[in-house]
């Protein structure tokens, strides 16, 4: 070393005198003084960084909120949460617009005119809670708590625990509807019949090939950003082949190695034919099939025999040779993974499509292995508050009419209003919609509006939302909810690295105006009703979980989570093949073995597992040989602990026990001039709750119908022409977008637009009396798009009840 | 004449005037902050107040002969329709009207930050139970009510001449950079949209008052 510390000090003195020379100091390029802290590069103002969790879509990514002058000014991804990895989509970044949207709801409102007339009066929270409490009390006093209905669109993690498990259970009602059947509920139901508890995670980071059946993963998906970034890395960095089967050249199809155009609702046929090829070529995983499924390879070969590539080509339009070569490539990829979503499952035959696709993974041995299709791993939060033991009652209006769907394990939310209208299974006296907009998001909008408007059918309608939705327009009481950027939650979305990730949502700013987190409102109503929930606010609930959850607690509990937003065990290893974990003999005390299925469960001696109500809740493991393994844990139905390619449950209900191809009845009867209407999503909007965000609607506010030029030519339609699209339930007018990016038999419209409420940016509507808006220069676009749901019937998959978004037959003509 | 050398009686007059101006701000703030209640309506519909409005041609006899309860109900619905929504309405927040190129038009915009800073720099803070937004028209008017009241008090304290000057200067700044920028336009919208004379008249009064206030503070400052 030439210079020591002492010498450096001397050099420092010399440097100081040299720097004092004017000629040298002039060379400095930076000005101002160093300020320690987090400062905005744009404004120079001090910023506070608050880690939290997104809610713009169900992915719930980790975020960091930047607050300047008490104002939320920027949101970005939280790099400390591995699933998000610091990345955030445009929807997440535009969350700021949710908070400060000029049309934000900030006061409780009470209807004063006729329902739907638009006459309102602001009321205080005190009065709003008084009114709602007295209405609830009236119903409770009548002895029919089931006549209180909660219908939610998104309610996850601690929100679900507080609102559903604690508050509504304490009320004694189980009439709680969700919205999963209009999303992807059928996919989960199909998985429950096959491998039990739902959610499939495609381990893109380690896979060697991806077959994507109808999922627009780069623009949507329930784990959009966590998943998409891993798929992109696989495809770009490692050259992983990804083939997308879709009726439409989505951005995912465009960025895939290959887009494989396919006829609507025929994904299952292609998957079956691939299975046929793999079985015939002997490329299957014998060990997995024989040990972990409930069929043999010879059974499979026999079942798959008719499903040849040639047969599938005739049905799907995918060339037989292509099916064959992709099947071989997939079986040899070791491992590969299949993605499926609404393109494959939102059909009459969706359940079977999903089962066939899962079978394709299974015969290759790609189930729950590194790089395969894995069972979801999520965090397990622990709260010290006990769920109320109240025995709940419910109206049988959540699952459609009796027999309409065999196993609607995620309900049939799109049928709830029809059930209320028909009335034979009872009607709720109080209908509370939370983060849900039934008038808009279901099919047959006209009927939805008519039912919601009818006070004889729904005597009291309460809407909890952050903006005035189409449903809020028809409400009796509107409660302004806090946005996700103003409230508390612990979060639990699944990992894409197979490691549990704990993270929280915390307010970046206080609730705007008088908006209030509905979780807190539930606590306040509970108090009025004399119900002891054990906690009095969402913050208390989240704090409790942080102080009681192993790992999080030791890391520093609530204070740690507030500072970092997320905690992941640094020693945790990715979890694969959880089904193969052996259960120790000492953990089998008090169990019996069901001889027919090999299920080891906590039933009573002599009880039959399959036919005993809710026996799956007592499942312990699966006996294979002389050992008991964790197996594929059943959920919602009494299936065995095996990967059930053969479903006795379906057989019992008159369906094929093996995955099969069911033609879509309407499509069989189509006339030559008719088309199938399908819907799709884009990267910058969600189905219904982001159009109030100016930044997003500025990017995407128009949704012309995609139509193939050959079809258009026959109908005399040119690009940009106004067209009428007619189905059995209605007609809409929109414009045609001619593109080769859609197959000839299909017309496709994104389902995000055409709001008639939800604020000015979403609906584009202004009343004449309010003259010109002050930001005419800012809102430069006039379009608001067209909503396709007006003409899509509410109709279920006969097995799982999924709304059949992709099956509607329409005629199209020039307007 | 130098303001600070005014005679005591002149100062008292100026003080009185400022108290009155402050009260006008206070009244307008109250009307914009909440729906009128029955006692307010009863008071408005009697004695000098009633006479004043009749004289000024701001009185719809038919409306005011309804029962107090009915008047309150009608005005509450009208208040909600005009200023709250839930659908199309005339949002009473400055940041939705006063923004520069490049700003985002939103609630809690740039103007909100400025208004909050001015209010807090003047030594005031927001009550914990307010939970509202700093640039609501009623807050801005309430701020002026308090500021002009301070002015009124300072007129009676000869020693505090420079404070008085600074107070009036702040009034001017707030009027020029905020009230004047958006309130007249806002009021015009209310005038056009209102279904009852009450809010139409209030809006007209407000718009005119802000214009006269601008003249008033300019005139006051010119004497210093």
Query: Chain B: nearest CA to A516, how far in angstroms?
Result: 11
B80-111 residue pLDDT tens: 999 998 888 999 999 999 988 778 889 999 99
Residue B163 lies in a domain: yes
Residue A244 predicted with pLDDT over 90: yes
Q: Are the beta carbons of B192 and A769 separated by less than 8 Å?
A: yes
Q: Among residues A543, A567, A591, which one ends one of the domains?
A: A567
The model's confidence at residue A175, banded by pLDDT at 50, 70 and 90, is very high
My answer on whether A583 and A648 are in the same domain is: yes
CA-nearest residue to A480 within chain B is B86
Residue A454 makes CB contacts below 8 A (sequence gap 6+) with none
Which residue in this structure is represented by tokens 């744009």? A42
What are the DSSP calls for A696-712, one per residue? HHHH----PEEE-HHHH
Q: What is the mean pLDDT of residues A426-450?
A: 98
What are the DSSP calls for A617-684, one per residue? GGEEEEEETTEEE--S---SS---SSB-SS-HHHHHTTS-SS------HHHHT--TT-EEEEEE--TT
Residue A15 predicted with pLDDT over 80: no
Task: Tell me which chain B residues have a C-beta less than 8 angstroms from the C-beta of A780.
Answer: none
Mutate to test the interface with A, among B32, B86, B87 (most CBs of A within 10 A): B86
Q: Are the beta carbons of B85 and A102 separated by less than 8 Å?
A: no
Closest Cβ–Cβ partner in A513, A514, A774 for B96? A774
Residue A9 predicted with pLDDT over 70: no
Q: Please give the angle made by the CA atoms of A800, A801 and A803, to the nearest 5 degrees.
A: 125
Q: Please give the angle made by the CA atoms of B25, B31 and B36, to the nearest 5 degrees.
A: 150
My answer on whether A554 and A616 are in the same domain is: no
Mutate to test the interface with B, among A75, A108, A122, A474 (most CBs of B within 10 A): A122
Let me know: does A538 contact A488? Beta carbons within 8 Å: yes
A129: left (phi over 0), alpha (psi -120 to 50) or beta: alpha
Buried b (16+ CB within 10 A) or exposed e, A145-170: bbbbbbbbbbbbbbbbbbbbbbbbbb
CA-nearest residue to B134 within chain A is A513
Mutate to test the interface with A, among B33, B71, B85, B136 (most CBs of A within 10 A): B85
Closest Cβ–Cβ partner in A69, A100, A118 for B107? A100
DSSP code for A570 = T
Domain count of the fold of chain A: 4
Let me know: does A579 contact A607? Beta carbons within 8 Å: no
Query: Chain B: nearest CA to A107, how far in angstroms?
Result: 8
What are the DSSP calls for A336-365, one per residue? -EEEE-HHHHSSTTHHHHHHHHHHHHHHTT
Domain that holds residue A448: 109-177+381-491+502-567
Mutate to test the interface with B, among A101, A106, A477, A697 (most CBs of B within 10 A): A106
CA-nearest residue to B185 within chain A is A774
Q: Are the beta carbons of B86 and A99 separated by less than 8 Å?
A: no
Q: What is the biggest distance separating any 2 CA atoms in chain A, rounded to whole angstroms?
A: 98
Q: What is the mean pLDDT of residues A79-87?
A: 93
Closest Cβ–Cβ partner in A70, A72, A118 for B87? A118
Q: What is the pLDDT of residue B7?
A: 77
How many of the other CB atoms lie within 10 Å of CB of A255?
18
My answer on whether A224 and A203 are in the same domain is: yes
Q: Are the beta carbons of A767 and B76 separated by less than 8 Å?
A: no
How many of the other CB atoms lie within 10 Å of CB of A493?
26
- Three-state SS at A773: coil
Q: For position A514, which CATH number holds? A: 3.40.50.740
Residue A315 lies in a domain: yes
Residue A16 lies in a domain: no
My answer on whether A213 and A359 are in the same domain is: yes
My answer on whether A394 and A315 are in the same domain is: no
Task: Outline where A40-94 has alpha helix (H).
Answer: 90-93
Residue B27 lies in a domain: yes
Cα separation, A484 vs A54, whole angstroms: 7
My answer on whether A265 and A300 are in the same domain is: yes
My answer on whether A683 and A551 are in the same domain is: no
Q: What is the pLDDT of residue A5?
A: 67
Task: Tell me which chain A residues have a C-beta less than 8 angstroms from the C-beta of B37.
Answer: none
Residue A39 predicted with pLDDT over 90: no
**Percent of chain B beyond pLDDT 90?**
69
The model's confidence at residue A483, banded by pLDDT at 50, 70 and 90, is very high
**CA R_g for chain B:** 19
Residue A54 lies in a domain: no
Residue B96 lies in a domain: no
Q: Are the beta carbons of B131 and A101 separated by less than 8 Å?
A: no
- The two beta strands, A241-246 and A176-177, are unpaired
Residue A706 makes CB contacts below 8 A (sequence gap 6+) with A248, A737, A739, A741, A742, A747, A748, A749
What are the DSSP calls for A177-245, one per residue? E-SGGGTTHHHHHHHHHHTSS--EEE-GGG-SEEEEES--TTT--TTHHHHHHHHHHHHHHS--EEEEE
Give the ipTM. Answer: 0.86
- Three-state SS at A393: strand
Let me know: does B223 contact B3? Beta carbons within 8 Å: yes
DSSP code for A483 = P
Residue A741 lies in a domain: yes
Q: What is the pLDDT of residue A269?
A: 98
Closest Cβ–Cβ partner in A102, A119, A766 for B107? A102
Q: Among residues A375, A401, A435, which one ends one of the domains?
A: A375
A691-715 residue pLDDT tens: 999 999 999 999 999 999 999 999 9
Residue A125 lies in a domain: yes
Residue A750 predicted with pLDDT over 80: yes
Task: Tell me which chain B residues have a C-beta less than 8 angstroms from the C-beta of A770.
Answer: 88-90, 189, 192-193
Residue A8 predicted with pLDDT over 80: no
Query: Chain B: nearest CA to A148, how far in angstroms?
Result: 25
Q: Are the beta carbons of A101 and B107 separated by less than 8 Å?
A: yes
Size of the A and B interface in Cβ pairs below 8 Å: 105
Residue A629 lies in a domain: yes
Query: Which of A428, A425, A416, A398 has its CA nearest to residue A142?
Result: A428
Q: Among residues A567, A591, A617, which one ends one of the domains?
A: A567
Let me know: does A242 contact A204? Beta carbons within 8 Å: no
Q: For position B32, which CATH number holds? A: 1.10.3480.10
pTM: 0.93
Query: Which of A261, A157, A278, A156 has its CA nearest to residue A214?
Result: A261
H or E, element range at A331: helix A320-333
Q: What is the pLDDT of residue A767?
A: 43
My answer on whether A315 and A227 are in the same domain is: yes
Residue A51 makes CB contacts below 8 A (sequence gap 6+) with A62, A63, A64, A65, A78, A80, A506, A563, A564, A565, A566
Backbone φ and ψ of A499, nearest 5° = -130, 130
Tokens describing residue B13: 């007059």
Let me know: does A707 contact A743? Beta carbons within 8 Å: no
Task: Tell me which chain B residues have a C-beta less than 8 angstroms from the C-beta of A512.
Answer: 107-108, 133
Query: Chain B: nearest CA to A115, how far in angstroms?
Result: 14
Residues in chain B: 224
The model's confidence at residue B57, banded by pLDDT at 50, 70 and 90, is confident
Q: What is the pLDDT of residue A768?
A: 37
Cα separation, B142 vs A484, whole angstroms: 32
Cα separation, A92 vs A686, whole angstroms: 11
- Three-state SS at B56: coil
Residue A606 lies in a domain: yes
Residue B199 lies in a domain: yes
Query: Which of A393, A378, A375 has its CA nearest to residue A156?
Result: A378
Q: What is the pLDDT of residue A771?
A: 38
My answer on whether A792 and A647 are in the same domain is: no
Residue B95 lies in a domain: no
Query: Which of B35, B38, B193 has its CA nearest to residue A109?
Result: B35
Q: What is the pLDDT of residue A782?
A: 87
Cα separation, A365 vs A380, whole angstroms: 28
Instruction: Write the CA distances from A774 to B106, B113, B135, integer angstroms.
Output: 11, 19, 16
Q: What is the pLDDT of residue A384?
A: 98
The model's confidence at residue B46, banded by pLDDT at 50, 70 and 90, is confident
CA-nearest residue to B192 within chain A is A769
My answer on whether A624 and A517 are in the same domain is: no
My answer on whether A670 and A793 are in the same domain is: yes
Query: Chain A: nearest CA to B184, how far in angstroms?
Result: 13
Cα separation, A808 vs A803, whole angstroms: 11
Residue A20 lies in a domain: no
Closest Cβ–Cβ partner in B80, B85, B108 for A100? B108
CA-nearest residue to A513 within chain B is B132
Bond prior to A485 in cis (omega within 30° of 0): no
Domain count of the fold of chain B: 1
HSE-CB for A737 with a 13 A CA cutoff: 14
Q: What is the pLDDT of residue A44?
A: 72
Cα separation, A63 vs A76, whole angstroms: 5
How many of the other CB atoms lie within 10 Å of CB of B44?
18
Q: For position A754, which CATH number holds? A: 2.40.40.20
Domain that holds residue B172: 3-87+104-222
The model's confidence at residue B60, banded by pLDDT at 50, 70 and 90, is confident
- Greater confidence, A336 or B59? A336
Q: For position A335, which CATH number holds? A: 3.40.228.10
Cα separation, A109 vs B86, whole angstroms: 8
- The two beta strands, A176-177 and A148-152, are parallel
Residue A273 makes CB contacts below 8 A (sequence gap 6+) with A307, A308, A309, A311, A312, A320, A323, A327
My answer on whether A256 and A138 are in the same domain is: no
Q: What is the pLDDT of residue B1?
A: 47
A252-283 residue pLDDT tens: 999 999 999 999 999 999 999 999 999 999 99
A400-423 residue pLDDT tens: 999 999 999 999 999 999 999 999
Mutate to test the interface with B, among A102, A114, A480 (most CBs of B within 10 A): A102
Cα separation, B113 vs A301, whole angstroms: 71
Q: Please give the angle made by the CA atoms of A185, A629 and A296, to the nearest 5 degrees.
A: 75
Sign of CA dihedral A339, A345, A349, A351: positive
* A385: Cα separation from own chain's centroid: 27
Task: Tell me which chain B residues have a C-beta less than 8 angstroms from the C-beta of A122.
Answer: 35, 76, 79-80, 84
**Percent of chain A beyond pLDDT 90?**
91
Let me know: does B160 contact B145? Beta carbons within 8 Å: no
- Three-state SS at A94: coil
- Three-state SS at A288: helix
On average, the pLDDT of chain A sits at 94
H or E, element range at A755: none
**Which residues on neighbouring strands pair with residue A734, listed in sequence order?**
A723
Q: Are the beta carbons of B107 and A104 separated by less than 8 Å?
A: yes
Closest Cβ–Cβ partner in A118, A512, A514 for B107? A512
Residue A214 predicted with pLDDT over 70: yes
Backbone φ and ψ of A245, nearest 5° = -95, 120
């Amino acid at each position: 070393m030439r210079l020591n510390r002492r010498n450096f000090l001397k050099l420092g003195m010399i440097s100081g005198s040299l720097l004092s020379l004017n000629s040298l100091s002039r060379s400095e390029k930076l000005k101002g003084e160093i300020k320690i802290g987090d400062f905005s590069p744009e404004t120079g103002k001090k910023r506070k960084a608050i880690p939290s969790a997104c809610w713009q879509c169900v992915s719930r990514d980790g975020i960091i909120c930047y607050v300047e002058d008490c104002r939320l000014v920027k949101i970005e991804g939280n790099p400390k949460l591995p699933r998000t990895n610091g990345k955030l989509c445009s929807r997440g970044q535009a969350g700021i617009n949710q908070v400060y949207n000029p049309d934000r709801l900030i006061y409780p409102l009470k209807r004063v005119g006729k329902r739907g007339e638009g006459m309102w009066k602001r009321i205080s929270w005190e009065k709003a809670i008084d009114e709602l409490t007295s209405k609830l009390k009236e119903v409770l006093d009548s002895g029919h708590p089931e006549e209180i209905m909660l219908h939610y669109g998104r309610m996850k993690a601690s929100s679900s625990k507080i609102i559903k498990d604690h508050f509504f259970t304490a009320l004694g009602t189980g009439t709680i509807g969700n919205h999963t059947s209009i999303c992807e509920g059928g996919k989960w139901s199909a998985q429950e019949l096959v491998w039990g508890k739902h959610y499939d995670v495609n381990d893109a980071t380690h896979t060697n090939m991806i077959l994507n059946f109808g999922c627009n993963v780069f623009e949507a998906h329930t784990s959009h950003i966590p998943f998409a970034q891993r798929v992109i890395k696989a495809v770009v960095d490692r050259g992983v082949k990804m083939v997308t089967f879709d009726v439409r050249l989505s951005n995912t199809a465009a960025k895939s190695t290959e887009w494989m155009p396919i006829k609507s609702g025929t994904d299952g046929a292609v998957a079956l034919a691939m299975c046929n090829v793999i079985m015939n070529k002997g490329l299957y995983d014998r060990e997995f099939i024989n040990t972990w499924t409930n069929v043999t390879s010879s059974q499979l070969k026999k079942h798959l025999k008719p499903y040849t590539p040639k047969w599938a080509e005739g049905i799907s339009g995918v060339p037989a040779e292509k099916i064959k070569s992709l099947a071989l490539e997939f079986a040899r990829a070791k491992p590969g993974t299949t993605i499926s979503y609404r393109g494959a499952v939102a059909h009459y035959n969706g359940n079977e499509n999903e089962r066939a696709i899962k079978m394709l993974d299974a015969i290759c041995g790609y189930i729950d292995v590194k790089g395969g299709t894995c069972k979801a791993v999520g965090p397990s939060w622990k709260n010290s508050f006990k769920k109320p033991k109240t025995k709940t009652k419910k109206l049988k209006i959540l699952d459609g009419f009796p027999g309409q769907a065999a196993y609607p394990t995620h309900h049939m939310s799109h049928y709830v209003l029809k059930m209320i209208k028909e009335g034979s299974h009872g009607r709720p006296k109080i209908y509370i919609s939370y983060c849900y907009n039934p008038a808009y998001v279901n099919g047959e909008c006209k009927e939805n509006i008519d039912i919601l408007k009818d006070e004889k059918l729904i005597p009291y309608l309460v809407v909890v939302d952050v903006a005035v939705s189409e449903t809020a327009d028809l409400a009796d009481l509107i409660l302004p909810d806090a946005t996700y950027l103003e409230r508390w939650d612990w979060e639990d979305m699944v990992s894409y690295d197979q490691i549990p990730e704990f993270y929280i949502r915390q307010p970046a700013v206080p609730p705007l105006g008088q908006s209030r987190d509905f979780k807190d409102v539930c606590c306040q109503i509970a108090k009025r009703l004399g119900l002891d929930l054990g906690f009095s606010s969402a913050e208390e609930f989240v704090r409790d979980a942080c102080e009681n959850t192993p790992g999080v607690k030791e890391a520093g509990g609530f204070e740690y989570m507030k500072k970092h937003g997320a905690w992941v065990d640094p020693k945790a290893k990715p979890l694969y093949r959880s089904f193969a974990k052996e259960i120790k003999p000492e953990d089998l005390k008090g169990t019996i073995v069901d001889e027919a299925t090999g299920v080891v469960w906590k039933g009573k001696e002599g009880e039959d597992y399959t036919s005993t109500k809710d026996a799956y809740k007592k499942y312990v493991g699966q006996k294979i040989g002389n050992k008991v393994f964790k197996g594929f844990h059943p959920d919602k139905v009494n299936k065995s602990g095996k990967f059930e390619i053969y479903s006795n449950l379906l057989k019992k209900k008159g369906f094929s026990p093996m995955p099969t191809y069911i033609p879509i009845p309407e499509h069989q009867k189509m006339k030559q001039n008719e088309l199938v209407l399908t819907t799709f999503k884009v990267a910058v909007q969600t189905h219904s709750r982001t159009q109030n965000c100016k930044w997003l609607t500025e990017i995407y506010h128009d949704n012309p119908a995609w139509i193939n030029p050959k079809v258009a030519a026959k109908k005399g339609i040119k690009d940009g022409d106004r067209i009428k699209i007619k189905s059995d339930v209605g007609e809409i007018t929109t414009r045609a977008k001619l593109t080769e990016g859609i197959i000839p038999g299909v017309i496709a419209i994104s389902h995000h637009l055409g709001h008639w409420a939800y604020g000015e940016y979403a609906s584009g509507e202004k009343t004449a009396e309010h003259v010109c808006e002050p930001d005419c220069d800012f809102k430069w676009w006039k379009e608001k798009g067209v909503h396709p749901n007006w003409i899509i019937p509410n109709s279920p998959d006969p097995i799982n009840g999924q709304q059949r978004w992709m099956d509607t037959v329409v005629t199209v003509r020039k307007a | 004449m130098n303001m600070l050398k005014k005679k005591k009686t002149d100062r008292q007059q100026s003080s009185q005037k400022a108290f009155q101006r402050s009260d006008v701000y206070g009244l307008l703030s109250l009307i914009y902050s909440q729906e009128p209640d029955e006692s307010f309506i009863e008071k408005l519909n009697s004695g000098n107040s009633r006479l004043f409005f009749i004289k000024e041609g701001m009185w719809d006899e038919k409306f005011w002969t309804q029962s107090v309860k009915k008047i309150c109900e009608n005005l509450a619905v009208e208040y909600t329709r005009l200023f709250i929504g839930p659908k199309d309405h005339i949002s009473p927040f400055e940041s939705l009207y006063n923004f520069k190129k490049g700003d985002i038009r939103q609630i809690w915009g740039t103007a909100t930050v400025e208004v909050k800073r001015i209010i807090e720099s003047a030594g005031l803070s927001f009550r914990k139970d307010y939970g509202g937004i700093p640039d609501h028209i009623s807050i801005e008017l309430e701020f002026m009510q308090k500021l002009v009241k301070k002015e009124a008090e300072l007129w009676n304290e000869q020693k505090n001449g420079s404070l008085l000057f600074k107070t009036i200067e702040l009034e001017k700044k707030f009027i020029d950079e905020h009230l004047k920028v958006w309130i007249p336009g806002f009021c015009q919208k209310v005038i056009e949209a209102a279904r009852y004379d009450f809010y139409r008249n209030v809006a007209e009064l407000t718009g005119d008052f802000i214009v006269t206030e601008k003249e008033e503070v300019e005139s006051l400052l010119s004497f210093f």
